[in-house]
Chains A and B, each alone.
Chain A
Amino acid sequence: MPGPTETPGLIKSIIKPFTVTVRQMLKSTFGRPQTTLYPMERRELPPTYRGMNAVIWDLCIGCGICAEVCPNRCLKMKPETLDDDEQARAWYGSHLAKRKSKPERPAINFGHCMFCGFCEDYCPTGAMTMTDFYEMADTTREGLIYPARSLKVDMETLPQLPLINYMMESPVLYTDTCIGCRKCVDNCPTNCIIMDTGPQEREKRDGSKHNIPVPYFDYTICIGCSTCVKVCPVDCLHMEPISDSTSSGLQPAEAA
């Protein structure tokens, strides 16, 4: 049965392979072989390389999106105490001081990490970066758990990046169930919520009626982290795709 290319002659088919291997042998004996002597020589890594994570703490706002998008749940937000200098340098430092809860910073268990780069991609401030450091082997599992402070890096000049909503979602309010508790305002990492008078009237104990305050969202700086949804005690907030939400963010219950 003839093959797709014609079968070579006997002598040719015995000699031909040697021409390749012997040529290669001479080439790599007198030239430079393809392989690198690893510990002594290293290949150049592209700037996009996804190695060990590093967090620019001054940019981090502790929104927890990186923990949210981590497919392996190997990244967790851990409460950290910032000293005064760090507090002052933090981008949203003034706001952090206002927040009641402790600031949180990402800690990573590299034993579970698969270096997919989602935390870097979805970070709204660009604080989460991936370096070209990859020699992280350890003899214990615990050695691969990197606490938040060990991932901290400092930068001389901070890039002034706009806040980008990579999550493509924003919180939307059902005004009729909102109780005006201000938890969302206290916990919003970007300070994009303000409380103002809402449409809902409620009776006070003394009989007087007033409009209870409801949150208003500044969607230009909302990052879609859904912290407000999680802390809401009455489930009056839910996330909706950006294109569907109105600019005010105030959505009557009937329309929803």
Chain B
Amino acid sequence: MTSLYDWSYWFCEAWLVPLLTPLLYFQEHIMPPFSNPAGDLARWMESDPGLNVLAWTIVVNVALMIGFTNVIIVVYLERKIAARIMDRRGPMLSFHSLKEIANDLAGSIPEYGWKTTTYAGIGILQNVADGIKFFCKEMIVPAKADRLLYTIGPVIFISSSILLLVLVPFSPRVAASSAPLGLLVVMAAFSIAPIGVLTTGWACNNKYTLIGGMRSAAQLMAYEIPLLLSMAGVFLVAGSFSPMDIVAQQQEVWLFGIPMWNIIPQFLGFIVFMVCILAEVERIPFDLPEAEAELVEGWTTEIGGLRLGLTFAAEYIRGFVGAMIATVLFLGGWAGPFLPGEIWFLIKVYGILVFFIILRWTVPRIRTDQILLLGWKRLLPLSLVNLAIAILYVEVF
């Protein structure tokens, strides 16, 4: 058992895992990375399988860096916005406050003098502290858990989430892959994660995690269909699955000086898509798999240490990618005046994320039967209606 534990431990901890996963599953479909800015280099790297692995290693590392940088920013935003909504300050410790604290500890500030000085910062160190905490925690496997599945479950969740980042382009210049099926592959990668959730929920041998896993599966099944149907409207209009084509198509039609991004003709589809992507990334009105009021922490109840930290990070990455897809599909992607495309893309993505955050701290969580009812009885017909509108739109323009 020890050897298995060691193997699984390293399997989960090693950075290699998220690096290798896309290689194993999508080697056939990968396109040369750096396709636009360094076409020759990419073509050269593609020519040799060994170089191909090297290229992908670089790509995934860059994607990881981008992903985790964004996670840190989103978590910071979430903390601060949540705090301001709740009429409090949020984390207030920062780099420049460290100096003041050090002075305080050294006793250079006279007694009672600290009442007048303030070492309040903007609180960016809180995320660093959280990260260090997750790194320092022990990895505990519950005594009666299924060790293999217990360790693999979070890995599936985390690695499939990181895979998502590779598949969505930031702009034509910053893109790692252009798989033939485009955004459909993203959706396929999105639906890998619930397998990990269900596996973990079952493997933990805990009733709360089991219910959380079951809820995740039910929720996924209810929301996958309207999600894809609402995307189908956009695919229909663009005539392609590729994000490049979709963004390019949205710039074609202009109305009264504003571009007809898909949000305008397919507003219904946008609403359905946003609700479904919220359910897909399990954020608060739909975060039933980890409803902390009744299921303690849902399917993550028994996970600890770095696994938990990476799971949290992966959830934020999924939210980030969800916002990216929404931007590509409905908000014109990287198109925008004056600023570079990447900046525009990030502005739009962060706009959606801020909306997600405000939503999370404004509404309660809905119930299991209600979420399924909403998915099957409301969103599915609405997405069909949206599809009809899209067909009409294609016919008219």
Contact = CB atoms under 8 A, between A and B. Distances in A.
A20 B362 CA distance: 8
B88 A25 contact: no
B362 A17 contact: yes
Interface in A8-67: 17-18, 20-22, 24-25, 27-29, 33-35, 37, 39-40, 42
Interface stretch (B113-121, B151-159, B173-181, B203-211): B113-121
A25 B81 contact: yes
Contact of A33 (B88, B114, B358): B88
B115 A21 contact: no
Contact of A25 (B85, B119, B120): B85
Give the interface centre of B81, B84, B89, B118 by most chain A CB atoms within 10 Å: B84
Contacts of B84: 24-25, 28-29, 33
Determine chain A's interface SS by DSSP, over half rule: helix
Interface string B286-302: 00000000000000000
Contacts of B92: 37
Given A28-B88, A29-B84, A37-B89, A21 B361 contact: yes
A29 B87 CA distance: 8
B143 interface: no
B4 interface: no
Given A18-B362, A21-B361, A37 B85 contact: no
A40 B87 contact: no
Given A18-B362, A39-B114, A40-B120, A24 B89 contact: no
A40 B118 contact: yes
B366 to A, nearest CB: 12
A54 B254 CA distance: 79
B100 to A, nearest CB: 10
Contacts of A28: 84-85, 87-88
Contact of B88 (A18, A35, A42): A35
Interface in B181-230: none
B129 interface: no
A28 B87 CA distance: 6
Contacts of A17: 362-363
A227 to B, nearest CB: 42
Given A24-B84, A25-B81, 6 more contacts: A17-B363, A21-B85, A28-B87, A33-B83, A33-B88, A40-B114
20 contacts: A17-B363, A18-B362, A20-B362, A21-B85, A21-B358, A22-B85, A24-B85, A24-B87, A25-B84, A28-B84, A28-B85, A28-B88, A33-B83, A33-B87, A33-B88, A34-B87, A37-B92, A37-B120, A39-B114, A40-B115
